Amino acid sequence: MTPKRHDPPHKPFRERLQEGDTYGLLLILIIATYFLLAFVGKSHWGKVVLAIAFAGVLLLTLHTSHVRGRWMRVTMVLAAITISTNVVQAIVDNEGVTGLNYLWIGFLIASPIVILSRILRHPSVDLETILGAICAYLLIGIAFGALFGMLQTVGSENFFAQPGPYERIDFLYFSFIVLTTTGFGDLTPYTSVGKVIVTLEALIGQVFLVTIVASLVASFGFRRAAPIGNATADDDDAEPPAT
C-alpha cells in the first residue's frame, strides 16, 4: 500500500518539549557537546563541564525518545553521582575515581539505539524523524571516539600506529573519519582490538546511511501504513490498560 502524505498539526515548542520528539534541540546540544569535547582541556573543571554536558545529552535523549520511569531515574542518579564526583575531584585537585566517567561510554553507545527505537515507531516521517536519525549518527561517532580514548588510557599499547601524544580531538576526528569512510590515512589503529572496532564502526556508518537514513528521506512527509511497534517507548510507571 502506498503511504499517504501526512501534514502533522503544528504544536508550540513548549508543548512539544514536554511531550518529547524535540530532536532539533537534542541535535544542538550534541553539536555543542562535540565542540566542548574538542576544545575543553583535560583540567578537573573541564571534566566537570563535560560531565554536565553529557548528562544533558543523555537525559534529553531519553526524554525526547519517550523513555520514562526506571531508566530515566537510573540515568539521573548516575549523572548526579558522576557530576558530584568530578566536582569533588576538581575542588581537592585529585584524580580519585575515574571509572565513573567510563559509564558514559556505555550510555553513549545505548543512546543511538534508544533514538532509533523511537523514530522507527513514528507514525509519520517528518522533520523530527530526520533530525533524530542525524542525532543517532552523531552520537555513534562520539561514542566510538570516547571508546578509542578509553582504549588508549587502559591499554598497554598506543591505540594509534602514529607516535603521540594524542588529544581528545584526535580520537573524535579519527572516529568520524572512520564513520564516514573518508579515510585520510593520517591516523591508523595499531592494536588488533582497535582494528576490529574500527572496522565495526565503518560498517555501522555505511549501513546506517544506505538503509536507515535513505529509507527515512524517501518516506519523508508520508504516514506509515503500519508503524513499527508502539508509538512510545516502554514506561515503567505506566498504568496497565483497563479490561
Q: What is the pLDDT of residues 143-192, one digit of tens each?
A: 999 999 989 988 888 999 998 788 889 999 999 999 998 888 889 999 99
CATH classification of the domain holding 186: 1.10.287.70
Asked whether residue 141 is domain-assigned, the answer is: yes
Q: Which domain holds residue 76?
A: 18-223
Which amino acid, 82? T
pLDDT at residue 237 is higher than 80: no
The answer to whether 149 and 165 are in contact (CB under 8 A) is no
90-142: per-residue pLDDT in tens?
A: 888 776 555 666 777 888 889 999 999 999 888 888 888 999 999 999 999 99
Asked whether residue 3 is domain-assigned, the answer is: no
213: buried, middle or exposed (CB in 10 Å: 19+, 13-18, 0-12)?
A: middle
From the list 62, 65, 64, 97, the residue with the least C-alpha distance to 81 is 97
Asked whether residue 243 is domain-assigned, the answer is: no
Asked whether residue 232 is domain-assigned, the answer is: no
Asked whether residue 242 is domain-assigned, the answer is: no
Asked whether residue 239 is domain-assigned, the answer is: no
Which range, of 17-31, 138-152, 191-205, averages the lowest pLDDT?
17-31
Counting the structural domains of the chain, the total is 1
Asked whether residue 73 is domain-assigned, the answer is: yes
